[in-house]
Structure 1
């Protein structure tokens, strides 16, 4: 039991470190290819890899939705279309600071999870959780504005970028919450089928957008230019991170797993600084405040859970 718990911790650690690195990795790639077709190449490849593994491990019968097609489509579309489209579009709109803003917004996901559980599972948030949300929002505000509140309305689309990333983060929270609706399914099966349904939605959106002239299919040259980013996003931030996250959360529980999301902005900060990005004092302070709010809420949840059991 102890070994499984520590294995779960390791899996969550691998997932969040991989995701923390994807925002700095995507920064130059977004200047070459739009986030929509990048999503197709990324998760299309992930879907193929997952499908081959599932076929070999569990056989053809595991691809049957068993009457859960609607849920699989909603959760898959939320994660592999909504999240990727919105977050990386928001990062692109935000410009040079997009990687930092996106990573900090990912750390707010645990508190977004509180709202999702309230709406979807009727689990009312505690007063401490609400206070933590307000404090975390203050921290995000500091990161986004860098001490200059007028930046949100200065015409550089910062507010739009934040809203896009926020809704994208919410999409991933919905997907994570949906995993609890399939307790009898293996992690591999849930990951594979939701990816397949999500990629189907991605294809539909791209066909419509391209036919209307809103998007154009990327050239071979542009695909080659982002090949290194694609490899990272398909393997580490795709197959490995998605599977590790889903399995890790099942082994150690969502309360413990969610705490690891605090490492996403830290990883992004380190990589961004290494790549030459100059982090302001307000960004560091805002990130610290956000993480402190999340940790405080998590600790309170643990104490309350222990007290209730006694």
Structure 2
């Protein structure tokens, strides 16, 4: 039973990250017709309705009641995940130009690294020394991808890489959202997904209205919506509804520390889809992505072994604890 549950978690995280890997090439065309702010509002409005319908079928109207719940915290995590990630990552992709899909997808590989720091900050669990080594190595791989191996260009013209900053901050927002689920252990993945999406949409629409009022983004038109209809359907129902739901289910089973490792699948999928559309990564980008993937994999293996050794040490130190634990409800 435990093995079956673990496999379910793996498959859910894998399905989510594959759907997200394809979303960056999909967004390349969408961003030519619509700004990332309006697109995000439309995308999560459709996904939110689908989440709501599913939750009502599975858990009933009572699941929407937030009386006595930490709804403010749920709003914060939802705002980080849907407004923060949706706005910033695709804004960065748009600023990066034709290579934005590859750049944005590779930056998603920072999530395991960011996850460790977020868990350290929120849960006061300090990463061990070797984890810092693997983090540094993975970061070196990401820098290699961004600069295509030309580190001198990064020092000479740092402004050329300004698009990477919102992408990294957006990735951080998604890590915060993912870790946020651990603050609601009694909520199902369906409830956490739906409630945070609906609450996060309040922030999405508030920011959109301010930007519209200031003239920063244009008013959406029917012709613009029609132009991005295929991409909107994919982003709302495949990368949005299926992807986010699978992600939260998988992370509830595997825990965020293990779940975020699957973000390495995102650049692999994006590389494949981009190559099919004519945007081929250069050898140094592939090398950097490989370095990052290996570093994060080694860190995960190291973390697992530490946990296993700690568990064995506790069992050896108190052999009588196991029978007592079995008697507990």
Is the pair's TM-score, using the shorter chain for normalization, greater than 0.5? Answer: yes
Instruction: State how 1:175-254 maps to structure 2 within 5 Å.
Output: 175-254=177-256
CA distance in 1, matches of 2:309, 2:83: 40
Match of 2:30 in 1: 29
Instruction: State how 1:6-155 maps to structure 2 within 5 Å.
Output: 6-65=7-66, 66-152=68-154
- What stretches of structure 1 of length at least 5 have no aligned partner? none
How far is the alpha carbon of 1:249 from its aligned partner? 1.6
Judge conservation of contact 1:108–1:294 (CA < 8 Å) in 2.
Answer: no
CA distance in 2, matches of 1:156, 1:251: 41
Judge conservation of contact 1:18–1:241 (CA < 8 Å) in 2.
Answer: yes
Helix, strand or coil: the match of 2:85?
helix
Judge conservation of contact 1:143–1:282 (CA < 8 Å) in 2.
Answer: yes
1:278 partnered with 2:301: no
> Root-mean-square deviation (CA), in Å?
1.5
Match of 1:291 in 2: 293
How far is the alpha carbon of 1:207 from its aligned partner? 0.8
Helix, strand or coil: the match of 2:51?
helix
**Superposition TM-score, scaled by structure 1 size:** 0.96
Structure 1 residues 154 and 236: alpha-carbon distance in aligned structure 2, compared to 1, 3 A threshold: farther
How far is the alpha carbon of 1:21 from its aligned partner? 0.7
Judge conservation of contact 2:144–2:285 (CA < 8 Å) in 1.
Answer: yes
Judge conservation of contact 2:138–2:292 (CA < 8 Å) in 1.
Answer: yes
Match of 2:175 in 1: 173
**Superposition TM-score, scaled by structure 2 size:** 0.91
Structure 1 residues 255 and 205: alpha-carbon distance in aligned structure 2, compared to 1, 3 A threshold: closer
Judge conservation of contact 2:179–2:256 (CA < 8 Å) in 1.
Answer: no
Helix, strand or coil: the match of 2:281?
coil
- The total of aligned residue pairs comes to 310
Judge conservation of contact 2:271–2:280 (CA < 8 Å) in 1.
Answer: no
Q: Deviations over 1:16-74 (max 9, x none)?
A: 10011111111111111100000000001111111122122222221122331210111
- What stretches of structure 2 of length at least 5 have no aligned partner? 313-329
Judge conservation of contact 1:72–1:197 (CA < 8 Å) in 2.
Answer: yes
CA distance in 2, matches of 1:256, 1:72: 22
- Match 2:162 to one of 156, 160, 163: 160
1:4 partnered with 2:26: no
CA distance in 2, matches of 1:138, 1:247: 31
